[in-house]
Structure 1
Amino acid sequence: MASRFMPSRRTGFALVAGCLLFSALAAATARPGDLSVGEIEEQLQNCPLVEALNEQKRASAPETASLTSQIFAVLFPGSPAVNSLLATLYISGPPNFLLALCPPNIDPASLSVMVAFAVGGLLGDTLFHLLPEIFLGEDSPDHVSFVMVEPNKNLLLGLGIMVGFFTFVAMDKALRIATGGEGGHDHSHGHSHTEVAAASTTSSEANDKTSGELKQRKSKSAKEVSEDSTPEKEINPSVKLGGYLNLIADFTHNITDGLALSSSFYASPTIGATTTVAVFFHEIPHEVGDFALLIQSGFSKRKAMGAQFVTAVGAFLGTFIGIAVQEFGGNSAVSEAGPGAGLWGTSLQWGDMLLPFTAGTFLYVGTVAVIPELLETGKDKGAEVRKTITQFLAVAVGAGIMLAISWD
């Protein structure tokens, strides 16, 4: 038995010896501290042992790309900057056009299952894609990858996640203060929770009165009914203020969506594509919920749709800001600086901090901003059990889609 494994053992020793010899030669020609991360990676790829691993990886790789990869290649065919703008267009256009199909008296509470599905997508993207990319980097299909452990770098990345998380905490807190401390969790975002306590009472009274008027005005067209469905004179001033504050918060959040898309595409095409899918899932209930709040705040259907299109400009603004930070602030993947020549003695550049910031905002939206809503229960125990099961299934489906997209 020993003689059977002798050739393979000798081959392994030879590869290790060759790798050590190459490392010694490399050390003699250049000091490791003078090399950038990319140069270190390039020299490691020339090691005989690593070359053998690369051959094995290429031999075991599938010959054809998966269906999702082919679809992503068609949707995002350009550079990271171009793909970021395309992704922003995809997540801003269709959800807003869907508002034309929404009835003006839609209840935000009816979106709970859709919100749960979006939360599964956001958390799935964060846990399956963003966090592994932040700390380990993107895998390459052509060669094995190495991770250079820098304790201070990991600390800065964690700090970026915390900054993103508490940025949304501050936004939520500011809106609660602006609305007199009566803000609450109405749908998928903590930053959009500007519906005051009087909103539910006022809107329900308006809807009851409107339903009676609709029965008496059968001769009116559907368009006229939708325009007059919420009489402005019956809207409480605090509710109107909540609607305008909601628009400001929506615009601000869309900026962070744009930052998320740009930072993701500069990290890798796969991360960018999966983040686009997660944000798209998230935008549909978000836009519909905001639309319902604007209707309750006295907006006509047409004005509410127009306001939502205006807030979509924030996503493009955030995308342009993210592209500028990546292009001019640098990125460790393309930087020529050594491991300790970046932020605070690490290999990080300013552009590398956008992705942790994105992960922090996604964690807030997927947990703090939504979990209280999912925990709300009524008196009908049977109905609540069925509702809870449906919500958990929706979360599992959303997360499962994110997992399936990136499964190798």
Structure 2
Amino acid sequence: MYLSYTKINISQSCPVVESLNEQKRANQPETASLTAKIFAILFPSSPAVNALLATLYISGPPNFLLALCPPNIDPSSLSVMVAFAVGGLLGDTLFHLLPEIFVGEDSPDHVSFVMVEPNKNLLLGLGIMVGFFTFVAMDKILRIATGSEGGHDHSHHAHAESIAAVASGAETSKSGELKQRKSTKEASTPVAVPEKEINPSAKLGGYLNLIADFTHNITDGLALSSSFYASPTIGATTTVAVFFHEIPHEVGDFALLIQSGFSKRKAMGAQFVTAIGAFLGTIIGIAVQELGGNGTMLDDIEPVGLRGTSLTWGDMLLPFTAGTFLYVGTVAVIPELLETGKDKGLEIRKTIVQFLAVALGAGIMLAISWH
């Protein structure tokens, strides 16, 4: 098990450990990296405050960027940006979250000791699976509700096609009636074009997408809070990964709302409302960490372990986060990147660009972790 705070203090007085600590400090670089300095400025306070700041960072700028988006943007045109986000999410999961979950975060000041504890890794693996299948259930429920094959809030392309198909069906029937009325009038008579109407099913799809977006933002908030309580570095890198993911996510949802009949102003307002879910998730995560034995409010109270282990409920949030990131980065998004058209040359060039975007997103996460 991870040595508790009290045991670490005792172990640091051991001559062997003291010499190891001195050797480690001597080998550490004297100046912090540029990313470390930036993170120190962006996240200067306690885990709870830093988590709230991170939620503000990932919720504000992507929503304000919607003002620059044209109302007729096609969600399928975001494939390169989505590929970049996939690399960031999987990079954060594989380079930061999973090592932190099973081994712990390195400290620049002293050496760390990890002892194997029966069943602890099993519970951590169970937390990852619960997070993964929580999103499977969300995806399945939304597909049933919309009656479509691509109902998840990240399957923007498939969901957009279903909404567009329903809307175009309504437009086709309207155009037939319009042509019939037009043929009965003289050619010189101006024809009033009726205002575009959106089928109720398309509107329902837009509202269901908002609900899914709100729920997804709650899990983002949980991810940020659990990562900052794990360590400042894990919190900062998770913020970067979520931020990269939020931009195509918000733009895609914005496009779906427009296709569902929302005006640009109303679509932007709806996206700001769903951002409340991220703050709600962050607050829930902070409460679980503080009241579950991982926070600063209960430092003098011996935490009660889960199922005879040293784990607390707060420790299970980070595995849950890793499970949700694995789902979003693989099952929910990669099928969209696998879609191909009939033009083989165009698809090959598009695939190369997508793979480069994935490599860039993962490379940024690796570089941050390395330094």
TM-score using structure 1 length: 0.81
Out of 53, 66, 71, the position equivalent to 1:99 is: 66
**Aligned-partner Cα distance in 1 for 2:130–2:272:** 29
Moved more, 329-338 or 395-404: 329-338
Matches within 5 A, 1:252-331: 252-331=215-294
Note the 1:80-229 alignment, pairs <5 A.
80-180=47-147, 182-184=148-150, 189=154, 195=159, 198-202=162-166
Name 1:403's counterpart in structure 2: 366
Aligned AA for 1:149? Answer: V
| Cα distance per residue 1:362-381 (max 9 Å; x no partner) | 00000000111111111111
In the TM superposition, what is the alpha-carbon distance from 1:146 to its structure 2 partner? 0.6
Gaps of 5+ in 1: 1-32, 209-229
Task: Report Cα offsets for 1:93-137 as digits up to 9, x if no partner.
Answer: 000000000000000000000000001000000000000001111
- 1:406 is displaced (CA, Å) by 1.7
- Deviation readout 1:178-230 (Å, 9 max, x if unpaired): 012x14168x725x78827542335668999xxxxxxxxxxxxxxxxxxxxx9
Q: Does the 8 Å CA contact 1:44/1:50 hold for their aligned counterparts?
A: yes
Structure 1 pair 332–146 and aligned structure 2 pair: CA distance change class (3 A): farther
Check conservation: 1:332, 1:347, Cα contact below 8 A.
Answer: no
Counterpart-to-counterpart distance in 2, 1:338 and 1:154: 21
1:112 and 1:196 map into 2 onto residues whose CA distance is 14
The one-letter amino acid paired with 2:249 is H
CA distance in 2, matches of 1:199, 1:171: 19
User: Matched residues, percent identical?
Assistant: 81
- TM-score normalized by the length of structure 2: 0.88
Distance, in Å, in 1 between the alignment partners of 2:319 and 2:332 is 19
After superposition, the Cα gap between the structure-2 partners of 1:110 and 1:193, relative to the gap in structure 1 and judged at 3 Å, is closer
Letter paired with 2:228? F
Give 2:20's aligned residue.
53
- Cα distance, 1:240 vs structure 2: 0.9
Corresponding residue SS for 2:112: coil
What SS does the corresponding residue of 1:372 show, helix, strand or coil? helix
Is 1:242 matched with 2:200?
no
Consecutive unaligned residues of structure 2, counting only runs of 5 or more, are: 173-193
Q: Provide Cα deviations, 1:51-90, integer angstroms capped at 9, x if missing partner.
A: 1111111101011111001001111111111101100000
CA gap of 1:338–1:86, structure 2 versus 1, over 3 A, is: closer
For the Cα contact (< 8 Å) 1:175–1:194, is it kept in 2?
no
Match of 1:373 in 2: 336
Question: Of residues 311, 325, 329 in structure 2, which corresponds to 1:348?
Answer: 311
Q: Is the 8 A contact 2:227 2:318 kept in 1?
A: yes
CA distance in 1, matches of 2:61, 2:146: 31
- Preserved CA contact (<8 Å) 1:175 1:193: no
Aligned pair 1:391/2:358, yes or no?
Answer: no
Deviation per residue, 1:141-190 (Å, 9 max, x gap): 0111011211311110000000000000000000011012x14168x725
Residue 332 to residue 302, structure 1, CA distance change in 2 (3 Å): closer
Give the direction of change, closer, same or farther, for the CA distance of 1:63–1:196 in structure 2 (3 Å limit).
closer
CA distance in 2, matches of 1:305, 1:183: 26
- Residue 326 of structure 1 and its aligned partner are, at CA, apart by 0.7
Q: Which is further off, 395-404 or 372-381?
A: 372-381
CA contact (8 A) 1:116 1:392 kept: yes
Amino acid at match of 2:5: G
Structure showing greater Rg? 1
